Amino acid sequence: MDQFIIEGGARLNGEIPIGGAKNSGLKLMVAALLSPGPLVLSNVPDIADIRTMKRLLTGLGMEVVQVDPHTLSLSGQITSVEAPYDIVSKMRASILVLGPLLARVGEAKVSLPGGCAIGTRPVDLHLKGFEAMGAEIVLENGYINASAPGGLKGARIVLPFASVGATENLLMAATLAKGTTEIVNAAREPEIADLAGCLRAMGARISGEGTGTLVIEGVPALHGAEYAVMPDRIECGTYACAAVITGGDLLLVGGREEDQEAVITALEAAGAEVQLDQRGLRVRARGQLRGIDLMTEPYPGFPTDMQAQFMAMLAVADGASMITETIFENRFMHVPELNRMGANVNIHGRSAIIRGVRGLSGARVMATDLRASFSLILAGLRAEGETVLSRIYHLDRGYEGVDRKLAACGAIIRRVRAEA
């Protein structure tokens, strides 16, 4: 298993290219199930989750061709409707094949994802939505068995919570359902607008993305298309924190202001400077950081996927901060690891109080999930001495070329193979 070894203290200066969004690219790949294709996707990040999705789709019968390191061509016939446990348990986004399979071939067998490190993460809203569209769902032996022999029917679905995954699953299914589907209290994340854009390019009839009510008029068939995955707003926000925590200055090439106003507002409130540049976002530290209060919320609120990275940054701010996590019930696993590096963070229910310290010190720490992993890299970049981060397979799920991108801007970081 690989580890990162980081020698802290370097200020980061330079440019970091922002890749395509993991949380969009995965869904756009799944959308390929809705047509014979080919669906040609560019700006696809080269990360482990995308490779896992390739395996899943190939197992369902699709042909996935790697045209170049960041372009995929997806086409083919569906020859299996089963998403097996070993893939779904590795990557929760696998649940999203349920809707497209149901819509295209009228049946699906998808392993229940179960919980994961950050929370229990049930899929009840997905299943209730499909039932409203006429599907029959049976849970058996850890699998969701879903069928809609006569096809899915359009329905009005009111989501009690604006779930990103449920919105995407239902949106994809509705493109081929008979009649009109309305998804009320739909999630408004930019990745959903990206998915709607791709589906529209494939011939779907969708309106309302970004507004909270999606209206989808089912069509008999979709066709192939070419589409570019949007830039990864979370990767961009993560490297913004790297600029600030190291007292540096980074141009995040391809970063978009419109996708992350809440993150930019929080960076500025903490004392950082964010400037729009023709090529992206320029982020730099401006004197000592200030403590701030944050609450994670569905988009356009502050994203839960940026919570751990902000906590590392606020650990060295002047004064106290409070971060309240409202999306996932167990997303503070980085706290004990940050505290091992000298941070002063206490958890009270779903809030964490961060009392700023003068400095952090390098330590051996362990990654527990994707974003928690990066918060420890950020702490390691700032800390005095050496930090050894293990279990970086969590990080490889969602960040491409971390050591390469950071080292190009002056970080001292290397990837090593640890002895078993």
Ligand X SMILES: CC(=O)N[C@H]1[C@@H](OP(=O)(O)OP(=O)(O)OC[C@H]2O[C@@H](n3ccc(=O)[nH]c3=O)[C@H](O)[C@@H]2O)O[C@H](CO)[C@@H](O)[C@@H]1O
Q: Which residues contribute to the site for ligand X (CB under 6 A)?
A: 23, 26, 92-93, 119, 121-126, 161, 163-166, 304-305, 327-328
Angle at 128 between CA 125 and CA 131, to 5 degrees: 150
22 is in an annotated binding site: yes
CA distance 228 to 206: 18
- The DSSP secondary structure of 151-206, one letter per residue, reads --B--EEE-SS--HHHHHHHHHHHTTSBSEEEEET----HHHHHHHHHHHHTT-EE
How far lies 308's CA from each of 276, 283, 302, 360, in Å?
Answer: 24, 19, 12, 16
**Under the criterion CB under 6 A, does residue 370 sit at the interface with ligand PEP?**
yes
Q: Kindly give the pairing relationship between strand 143-147 and strand 136-140.
A: antiparallel
The token duo for 77 is 């016939």
- Nearer to ligand PEP (CB atom), residue 202 or residue 374: 374
Residue 123 touches which of ligand X, ligand PEP, none (CB < 5 to 8 A by kind)? Answer: ligand X
Catalytic residue among 116, 198, 241, 409: 116
CB of 134 to ligand PEP, least distance (A): 28
* Residue 393, SS3 per DSSP: helix
**Under the criterion CB under 6 A, does residue 233 sit at the interface with ligand PEP?**
no
CA distance 86 to 75: 24
**Under the criterion CB under 6 A, does residue 345 sit at the interface with ligand PEP?**
no
* Residue 7, SS3 per DSSP: strand
The backbone region for 380, taken as left when phi is positive above 0, alpha when psi lies in -120 to 50, beta otherwise, is alpha
Residue 371 touches which of ligand X, ligand PEP, none (CB < 5 to 8 A by kind)? Answer: ligand PEP
Closest listed residue to residue 400, CA positions, set 234, 274, 280, 194:
234
Active site residue 241: no
CB-based contact 59:34 (threshold 8 Å): no
Q: Which of 315, 398, 399, 406 binds ligand PEP (CB under 6 A)?
A: 398
CB of 233 to ligand PEP, least distance (A): 11
Contact pattern for ligand PEP over residues 46 through 85, marking x by CB under 6 A: ----------------------------------------
- Nearer to ligand PEP (CB atom), residue 34 or residue 370: 370
Q: Which of 371, 382, 394, 405 binds ligand PEP (CB under 6 A)?
A: 371
- Nearer to ligand PEP (CB atom), residue 92 or residue 126: 92
Residues forming the site for ligand PEP (CB under 6 A): 23, 92-93, 305, 370-371, 398
Q: Give me the active site residues, please.
A: 116
Residue list for the binding site for phosphoenolpyruvate: 22-23
